[in-house]
Structure 1
Amino acid sequence: MRSLFAVASRPEIVSLAGGMPNVGALPMDTLGALMSEIVTRHGGTALQYGSAQGDPGLREQICEVMSLEGIDADPDDILVTVGSQQALDLVTRIFVNPGDAVVTEGPTYVTALGVFAAHQAHVVQVGMDRAGVVPEDLAETFARLAAEGRPAKLFYTVPTFQNPMGVTLSSGRRHQILDVCRRAGVLVLEDNPYGLLHYSSEPMRALRADDPDGVVYLGSFSKTLAPGLRVGWALAPAEVRRKLVLAAESAMLSHSTFAQLTVDRYLRTQPWQAQLGEFRSMYRARRDAMLQSLAAYMPQDVSWTIPDGGFFVWVTLPDGLDSKAMLPHALAARVAYVPGTGFYSDGRGRRHVRLSFSFPSPDDIRDGVRRLAEVVGEQERLRDALGCAPTPTKRFMSNSIHLS
């Protein structure tokens, strides 16, 4: 992945790989003035050590942000972290010993797999369809692991505009998933960086809103403000939060007070919900450019998901094509993507590609998809020439998902 992104950053390549937010839409002059005021008027605090739990004022503002997703939270139960990535690592450090089972969606966020691997967890992935993870499959997985003598410690999920598939766990299934986890005694780790980037509906109700004692909620300002500030958080039951604070103290002593005060001041003084609306409009236009380009250029037997928010589209390639083997050809054609194998722990996903539309301009997206479609067509012709052509299938464009 590191090698891929190093190549994808070259200016001649259209990168549909990284899920970077487009910070160019932020009011930079306003942010600059705000940061200058913080240093001038509050520098003695902003440039000093702070609490490992995080600035109390920012924790109050985080509660206001989460209320948009139905969460009623106490600031005392929030730990501010260096992005939600650190929160994920701290929760895993507390709960997971080497060999413990962690259940995730399949596919799932690639860096979460890295965290679980670093803690030597046994990762088990549960299948998904257009409505998210399948509750019956999750229950069966929990039962099987318990029968094997290694019950699951965590269920990690990105339920809203999931990375990498872009699908969203349906409202009905959210209650089913919570019930399955509650009956199995498994803690839910809800990672929700994209929840407020919805395109055609109100925010989904968070899992945490319906089970405060059974869910640790991870949030971040990386997608809704700026990733360079590195401000995220974990909302956890009080007993878990106390352990998280201790773990955070040993990991970093304290988070950047300046970054926390910057986010706090932004939320208190700026029309941040209106700014979110501008982000949603911008990303919606980019998503539409990608979907229209996929429909216009891709061969008939390619399919993809249609996200209603977030940054990603999950593409299923024709039979016989391998997204990992195809990547050098795509880079030679000056377009980059992430092969589906990166989102599985067991080598699956070779027929799948994650495309991100968040950062490139609509024109670059169209150009990148056209280049990728040409590569896919070339690979199909090579496959057919080798005599392994599949049965022709009718093309469709929907949230249907075909997992290899």
Structure 2
Amino acid sequence: MRLPTELKPRPVPVPVPAPAAVAPVSATAPVSVSVSVSVSWERYFSRSAHAMVPSEVRSLFSVAARPGIVSLAGGMPDVSALPPDTMAGIVADVVREHGATALQYGSAQGDPGLRERICSVMALEGISARPEDVMVTVGSQQALDLLARVLLDPGDTVVAEGPTYVTALGTFKAAGARVVQVAMDRAGVVPDELAAAFRRLAAEGRPAKFFYTVPTFQNPTGATVPAGRRARILEVCRAAGVLVVEDNPYGLLHYDGEPTRALAADDPERVVYLGSFSKTLAPGLRVGWVHAPAALTAKLVLAAESAMLSHSALAQLTVDRYLRTQPWRERLADFRAGYRARRDAMLRALSASMPAGVSWTVPDGGFFIWLTLPEGMDSRELLPHALAAGVAFVPGTGFYADGRGARHLRLSFSYPPAERIDEGVRRLAAVITAHL
């Protein structure tokens, strides 16, 4: 059917506006100019922020990662020993079966099922724990940070081993605390020195708030406190009324026998225990925990809520499923065998390459060897020459609050394969020999 001419649609002309006239700019008219002003942020930072400085370990990471450099610096676990298909399947199962929970907010205290399994893990070290006294954290490092927030006021004193874990020093300093370090020998902190430090601090009117210790395969020395000395340390702390913070990320990485009995196993009311799956599973999951008396756990939960609302439910359920469905004890034995082979490779290389006057520790587990240089040598001055020779280590000064430790350095054997460890030690030995 054809439409009559008068009913056919006709194109409608669209009026196009004429270009707007541009008004001339008056010579006296104000001109808006965007000015970038450099802000001096230092005056805005809090005292806590001013106390934050990069650790010597973290500062080395970017340099140590350069091609051609053998890094004996960072204490990274060998995650290649964990079957990737297994972990992929676990994550897929968690999302498929528990997606509504795994992808949602969770509790600041942590998944109840995972906390039960953490109690089973701690039982291997003699700890009798209840899930309600466990809080899941983002690695054990967050536990340290939360403890500092809950226990420390600016000006408080923390006593620690000398040397000690470098990031703990930074955490306590950022909280405004003073760190006093007590001498160690090959068997860990010396109890008589610890007791003397507590007496001196009390006499000064600055008693210790807590004693921070890594008593098993210590970072950085690799030392382990034997059973008799552990009992004496607990006795000294009880007599002085000082709490103990036991940081134990390496406890299940023992190379012989059974796990060492934890300090928390013998005094759960005064020892706060920090654990982590970073070294025994994977650091990328960022799952650790703190076990503490109920009153302290309640405060830590409140502090965690204010910091981050809740932890990753996906990461927690992944670890929980791994512990429920995988032969994790057998896999731990495989991890230990691999790390022991690396330790032995480093010890052989040190014995074969190092000049006279250099000594080192022999750890029974963990990741680290503590090396002592000949009298008069400084590991900080040695580091640039070592990097130029293609090997990285951590100077000992980073593990002291007052700059001591120049004659020492930390070597990590946990990550490089045995042939790279041998090459790295030979390069380091050549640098030391050249600077004797």
**TM-score (norm: length of structure 2):** 0.87
The residue type equivalent to 2:202 in the other structure is A
Structure 2 matches for 1:65-104, cutoff 5 A?
65-104=121-160
The residue type equivalent to 1:299 in the other structure is P
CA distance in 2, matches of 1:258, 1:300: 52
The residue type equivalent to 1:120 in the other structure is G
CA distance in 1, matches of 2:102, 2:150: 30
- For the pair 1:242 / 2:298, whether they are aligned, the reply is yes
CA distance in 2, matches of 1:329, 1:53: 47
Matched with 1:394 is none
Matched with 1:287 is 343
The residue type equivalent to 2:196 in the other structure is E
Specify which of 295, 302, 306 is matched with residue 362 of structure 2.
306
Q: CA deviation at 1:92?
A: 1.1
Q: RMSD in angstroms over aligned alpha carbons?
A: 0.5
Q: CA deviation at 1:11?
A: 2.0
CA distance in 1, matches of 2:107, 2:357: 55
The residue type equivalent to 1:255 in the other structure is H
Matched with 1:271 is 327
- 1:347-403 Cα distance to aligned partner (Å, 9 max, x none): 1000001000000000000000000000000010xxxxxxxxxxxxxxxxxxxxxxx
**TM-score (norm: length of structure 1):** 0.94
CA distance in 2, matches of 1:177, 1:3: 34
Of the structure 1 ranges 211-220 and 33-42, higher mean CA displacement relative to structure 2 is found in: 33-42
The residue type equivalent to 1:209 in the other structure is A
- 1:224-261 Cα distance to aligned partner (Å, 9 max, x none): 00000000000000111111111110111000000000
CA distance in 2, matches of 1:308, 1:62: 24
2:370 partner SS = strand
Specify which of 182, 198, 205 is matched with residue 261 of structure 2.
205
- For the pair 1:187 / 2:220, whether they are aligned, the reply is no
2:236 partner SS = helix
Q: CA deviation at 1:130?
A: 1.1
Matched with 1:129 is 185
- For the pair 1:138 / 2:194, whether they are aligned, the reply is yes
Number of residue pairs aligned between Structure 1 and Structure 2: 380
- For the pair 1:28 / 2:89, whether they are aligned, the reply is no
The residue type equivalent to 1:129 in the other structure is D
Specify which of 90, 95, 110 is matched with residue 166 of structure 2.
110
- 1:37-86 Cα distance to aligned partner (Å, 9 max, x none): 11111111100000000000000000000000000000000000000000
Matched with 1:392 is none
CA distance in 1, matches of 2:67, 2:76: 16
The residue type equivalent to 1:134 in the other structure is V
Matched with 1:46 is 102
Q: CA deviation at 1:3?
A: 2.8
Q: Percent identity?
A: 71
2:160 partner SS = strand
1:128 partner SS = strand
Specify which of 414, 418, 434 is matched with residue 362 of structure 1.
418
Matched with 2:275 is 219
Specify which of 221, 228, 242 is matched with residue 284 of structure 2.
228
CA distance in 1, matches of 2:136, 2:403: 34
The residue type equivalent to 1:105 in the other structure is E
1:127 partner SS = strand
The residue type equivalent to 1:353 in the other structure is L
The residue type equivalent to 1:287 in the other structure is R
